[in-house]
């Protein structure tokens, strides 16, 4: 028989009732607690002795020493600062190492409960794992949100360069701490830890990795915003220093008046920032002395020496290869032309390209021969194309592929397209 200490339903109900009672205390004495948050101590004028004892027992208030007053507990103060987004008192600490150690312990307890067949305990451990993962993601999100709020408040609206530098260092240190915390999460270790369990893998691998990707993206946006604000502040600082220096100079020299620097022969270095201009010059051919001087200058110019490019063995080999390719292509073209002339000589009877290739004992491959026969027909003028009829013997590659494979090409003379005779066609082809 299960006693009350080990009954899960009794534990859950007692936990809910105790939590509801503590939350009711927070709501009932909200004004006194907020007054203690705004001040150093909680005012006891509005609290009875019974209420004070209940708040102390619930660890909502605490007394540091006997002589001092009553203050808010650190967790309660942190909770109020979190709800109010009070960046001056808000403290976010993503303790990743402790959370990871707790996750390892919960996974081991989950496995033991599954092996023992304790399904209720297994569900409870899985629920705690979800809560811890959510808390970890929430702490990272709160820390990034706190940093973002500080960039748009203290960091972005300070009036002195020293404050800006201090805020920059503080923000940089917090970013480094967050990045160090994110690097502690080793997914290789988590994959080995969860094994083949689908629920754990979805929770501790895929889901957590997606959340960490969002955190890294948010941190990159925070860094970009911080760099933008720092560059803008430096620009404003340089302008303000220039104006302040000019104002101080005018106070020391009340009668100062800017001069016309464009008409001065010696321009100060501070003002003379433009690059010197090279004046354009041209020969005055209407002067009698200038053509003679120009002639002497032209005669004195060195003559360009043309240096022939050296011929290397690689260049000779490439030239020979190009010549060989051009020769073979010309020979193939001539053989195809003789094939067309053979069609004309046969009186227009159909002639197979492959049969002609085999009978002639040419060294060309069947594929390149058929390609050249089709290309030669397409390259003929319109009138000569109508004189020949090209028929391709082709099949479909497969029932699922509409690609057509050409096996042979048959050429014959077409007598219906015009009044050309075989002699005229042969004369045109020649």
**Together in a domain, 82 and 122:** no
**Together in a domain, 231 and 103:** yes
In a domain, 274, yes or no: no
Rounded to an integer, what distance in angstroms lies between the CA atom of residue 133 and that of residue 190? 13
In a domain, 270, yes or no: no
pLDDT tens digits in sequence order for the chain, 430 residues long: 344 445 667 767 777 888 788 788 778 778 887 877 777 677 777 778 888 888 877 777 777 666 667 777 767 777 777 677 665 555 555 568 888 888 888 888 888 888 888 888 888 888 888 888 887 887 788 788 878 877 776 665 666 667 777 777 888 888 888 888 888 888 888 888 888 888 888 888 888 888 888 888 888 888 888 888 778 777 877 888 888 888 999 899 888 887 776 777 777 777 667 777 777 777 676 777 777 777 777 778 887 766 666 656 666 676 777 788 788 888 888 888 888 888 887 776 888 888 888 887 788 888 888 888 888 888 888 878 888 888 888 888 788 777 888 888 888 887 544 444 445 445 444 4
Domain end marker among 180, 214, 241: 241
In a domain, 189, yes or no: yes
**Together in a domain, 44 and 99:** no
Query: Following DSSP, what letter does each residue of 134-187 receive, concatenated?
Result: HHHHHHHHHHHHHHHHHIIIIITS-SSHHHHHHHHHHHHHHHHHHHHHHHT--H
Phi, psi of 388 (to 5 degrees): -110, 145
**Together in a domain, 181 and 74:** no
Reference 233, options 146, 149, 171, 167; nearest CA is 167
- Residue 87: the pLDDT is 55
In a domain, 320, yes or no: no
In a domain, 309, yes or no: no
Return the DSSP state at 399.
T
- Residue 301: the pLDDT is 81
**Together in a domain, 109 and 83:** no
Rounded to an integer, what distance in angstroms lies between the CA atom of residue 61 and that of residue 44? 11
* Token pair of 248 as six digits: 């101080």
| Structural domains in the chain (count) | 3
In a domain, 334, yes or no: yes
**Together in a domain, 31 and 141:** no
In a domain, 40, yes or no: yes
339, 353 contact by CB (below 8 A): yes
Domain end marker among 213, 241, 269: 241
**From the CB of residue 283, how many other CB atoms can be counted at a distance below 10 Å?**
11
CATH number of the domain where residue 207 is located? 1.20.58
In a domain, 191, yes or no: yes
CA distances from 3 to 6, 8, 10, 11 (A): 6, 10, 9, 11
Q: Which domain holds residue 220?
A: 92-241
* Token pair of 275 as six digits: 């690059």
Domain end marker among 241, 261, 286: 241
Q: Give the dihedral of Cα atoms 87, 153, 41, 34; nearest 10 deg.
A: -80
**Together in a domain, 81 and 97:** no
Rounded to an integer, what distance in angstroms lies between the CA atom of residue 102 and that of residue 30? 34
**Together in a domain, 353 and 410:** yes
Residues contacting 66, CB < 8 A, separation 6+: none
- Residue 422: the pLDDT is 47
**Together in a domain, 170 and 191:** yes
**Together in a domain, 116 and 76:** no
**Together in a domain, 96 and 237:** yes
**Together in a domain, 154 and 20:** no
């Amino acid at each position: 028989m299960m006693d009350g200490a080990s009954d899960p339903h009794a534990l859950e109900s007692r936990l809910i009732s105790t939590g509801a009672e503590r939350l009711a205390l927070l709501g009932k004495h909200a004004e006194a607690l907020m007054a203690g948050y705004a001040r150093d101590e909680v005012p006891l004028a509005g609290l009875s002795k019974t209420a004070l004892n209940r708040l102390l027992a619930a660890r909502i208030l605490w007394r540091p020493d006997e002589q001092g007053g009553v203050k808010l507990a650190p967790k309660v103060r942190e909770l109020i600062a979190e709800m109010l987004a009070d960046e001056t008192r808000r403290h976010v600490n993503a303790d990743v190492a402790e959370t990871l150690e707790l996750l390892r312990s919960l996974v081991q307890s989950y496995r033991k409960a599954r092996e023992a067949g304790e399904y209720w305990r297994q569900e409870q451990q899985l629920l705690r794992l979800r809560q811890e993962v959510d808390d970890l993601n929430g702490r990272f999100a709160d820390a990034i949100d706190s940093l973002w709020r500080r960039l748009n408040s203290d960091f972005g609206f300070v009036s002195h360069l020293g404050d800006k530098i201090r805020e920059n260092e503080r923000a940089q240190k917090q970013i480094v701490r967050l990045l160090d915390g994110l690097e502690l999460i080793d997914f290789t270790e988590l994959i080995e830890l969860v094994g083949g369990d689908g629920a754990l893998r979805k929770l501790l691998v895929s889901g957590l990795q997606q959340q960490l990707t969002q955190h890294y993206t948010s941190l990159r946006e925070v860094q970009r915003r911080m760099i933008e604000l720092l560059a803008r502040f430096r620009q404003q600082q340089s302008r303000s220093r220039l104006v302040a220096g000019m104002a101080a100079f005018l106070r020391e020299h009340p009668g100062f008046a800017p001069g016309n620097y464009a008409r001065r022969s010696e321009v100060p270095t501070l003002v003379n920032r433009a690059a010197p201009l090279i004046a354009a010059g041209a020969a005055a051919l209407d002067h009698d002395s200038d053509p003679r001087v120009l002639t002497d200058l032209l005669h004195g110019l060195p003559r360009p020496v043309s240096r022939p490019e050296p011929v290397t063995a690689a260049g000779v080999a490439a030239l020979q290869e190009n010549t060989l390719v051009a020769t073979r292509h010309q020979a193939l073209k001539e053989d195809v032309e003789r094939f067309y002339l053979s069609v004309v000589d046969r009186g227009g009877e159909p002639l197979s390209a492959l049969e002609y290739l085999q009978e002639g004992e040419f060294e060309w491959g069947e594929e390149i021969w058929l390609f050249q026969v089709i290309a030669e027909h397409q390259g003929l003028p319109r009138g000569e194309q109508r004189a020949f009829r090209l028929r391709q013997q082709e099949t479909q590659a497969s029932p699922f592929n509409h690609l057509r494979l050409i096996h042979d090409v048959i050429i014959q003379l077409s007598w219906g397209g015009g009044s050309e005779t075989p002699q005229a066609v042969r004369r045109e082809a020649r």
